[in-house]
Amino acid sequence: MIKKDLNTKQVGNLFGVDESTIRRWAMAGKIKCISSAGGHRKFSYSDIVSFANKKGIKLNINNKQKKQNPKKTVQEIVGYALKQNHKSVETSLIELYLSGVPLTSLMDDYIEPVLVSIQSLLDHKKISVAEEHIARKIVAKGLSQFKLSVMDSKSTNGKNVLCLNLENDIPDLPIEMIQILLEDIGYNVHNCGSHTSIENIKILLSKKNYDAIFIYLCDRQCCTSTLIDHIDKTNSDLKEISELAKKYNIKLFLGGPYFDNINADVLQHYNRFTKYSESLLINKFLI
């Protein structure tokens, strides 16, 4: 497992320079670091990547093939998930990030295809429902650890976003992916996750001001709100949320690959997106 912070020698190896160069950069304030209790410099992944991008320096990553062959990397991560190895999932994501893969691409080109591949294995009865649940949770845990490893707290733009899944829905991982992207560009994100009822949404909106609400729908087995048996309630809930949004002056965003049975008069109240990267269009409406 990759450590949360790197020391001077490790950072030097990443940049292909000696330790004295890294110390000079740090002393000059060119690259951020913190000092441990013993006086040793520690560098976060996010600051390393920020410095590399600013200076146009390529990092020496042991496994650069990951960035060059997304399909192979996706299958590797699927394998780690099925083996319940969240540490290797985390490591793969960190290596991709350090090699320059943007967070948006990480979500669209790696994690989403991993989820699609796991669902495909279930559809073809190569894994059980229980195995699919566990694999998805392993990916979620790996992503959560990745977030802790590479993302530092940043100054916010003062805008509040509520992320949720409708009642009958449990695909919390896509909402977490959206949360990571929005937090990375400065939004305060409150994620109430799966199975959020209208009554709970009303309570949240009555107690805090939100500038936007993000909802995610998909057609995987974890998302039952898109099933025909539940579609009337889904349409009703989406309509009621749109009315609440009008009352509180909130922008609405509806993401996912599945809108087939959502009423057109309901959809017109939502800014729709199918790729995670498109969630960043929020800046067009709020800033």
Give the Å distances, CA to CA, from 252 to 21, 167, 179, 267, 282.
Answer: 48, 17, 15, 10, 9
Does the pLDDT at position 182 exceed 90? yes
Q: What CATH number did the domain enclosing 24 receive? A: 1.10.1660.10
Average pLDDT value for residue range 12-23? 87
Per-residue model confidence (pLDDT) at position 160? 97
How far apart CA 182 and CA 170 sit, in angstroms, is 20
Query: What pTM was computed for the model?
Result: 0.83
Indicate the pLDDT class of residue 1, thresholds 50, 70 and 90.
very low
In terms of domains, do 201 and 250 share one?
yes
Residue 49: pLDDT over 80 = no
The reply to whether 190 and 80 lie within a common domain is no
d(CA 266, CA 284) in angstroms, rounded, equals 22
Residue 18 has pLDDT above 80, yes or no: yes
Per-residue pLDDT band at 170 (split at 50, 70, 90): low
Kindly state whether residue 45 falls inside one of the protein's structural domains.
yes
Sheet of 5-6: strand order equals 5-6, 41-44, 34-35
The average confidence (pLDDT) of the chain is: 86
Same domain, 123 and 100: yes
- Where is the domain boundary, 120, 150, 180? 150
- Partners of 42 in the β-ladder: 34
Check whether 2 has a pLDDT greater than 90: no
- Crossing angle for the helix pair 70-82 and 86-98, to the nearest 10 degrees: 160
pLDDT of residue 224: 62
DSSP category for residue 278? G
- Verify that 39 and 82 share a domain, yes or no: no
Residue 155 belongs to some domain of the structure:
no
Residues 141 and 222 in one domain: no
**Is 139 in the same domain as 208?**
no
End of a domain among 125, 150, 175? 150
Identify which of 53, 94, 45, 104 has the alpha carbon closest to the alpha carbon of residue 73.
94
Q: Which is higher by pLDDT, 151 or 42?
A: 42
Q: What is the CATH number of the domain that holds 136?
A: 1.10.1240
Whole-angstrom CA distances from 222 to 52, 137, 179, 226 are 39, 12, 19, 10
In terms of Cα–Cα distance, which of 17, 105, 20 is closest to 58?
17
* pLDDT, mean of residues 77-105: 91
* Distance separating alpha carbons of residues 10 and 15, to the nearest angstrom: 9
> How far is 228 from 211, CA to CA, in rounded Å?
31
Tens-place pLDDT, residues 187-231:
999 998 778 899 999 999 999 999 999 998 877 655 665 556 678
Q: pLDDT tens digits, residue range 227-280?
A: 566 788 889 999 999 999 999 999 999 998 778 788 999 999 999 999 999 999
| Residue 178, in any domain of the structure | yes
Check whether residue 275 and residue 179 sit in a common domain.
Answer: yes
Q: What percent of the chain lies above the pLDDT cut of 70?
A: 88
> What pLDDT, on the 0 to 100 scale, is given for residue 140?
93
Helix, strand or coil, per DSSP, at residue 214: strand
Are 135 and 167 members of one domain? no
73 and 141 housed in the same domain: yes
Instruction: Give residue 135's domain range.
Output: 65-150
Q: Is the pLDDT of residue 54 over 80?
A: no
Torsion of CA 198, 200, 206, 210, to 10 degrees: -80
Mark whether 210 and 259 lie in a shared domain: yes
Report residue 15's pLDDT band, with 50, 70 and 90 as the boundaries: confident
47 and 120 housed in the same domain: no
The answer to whether residue 61 scores a pLDDT higher than 70 is no
Domain-located, residue 135: yes
Please give the torsion angle defined by the CA atoms of residues 149, 210, 104 and 72, in that order, rounded to the nearest 10 degrees. 70
Same domain, 24 and 86: no
As a whole number of angstroms, the distance between CA 252 and CA 134 comes to 31
> Which residues have CB under 8 Å from 190's CB, separation 6+?
160, 161, 162, 163, 204, 208, 210
Tally the domains of the chain: 3
What confidence score (pLDDT) does residue 114 get?
Answer: 96
Per the listing, tokens 């199975």 go with 195
Final residue in a domain of this structure, among 122, 150, 178: 150
pLDDT of residue 151: 75
In a domain, 60, yes or no: no
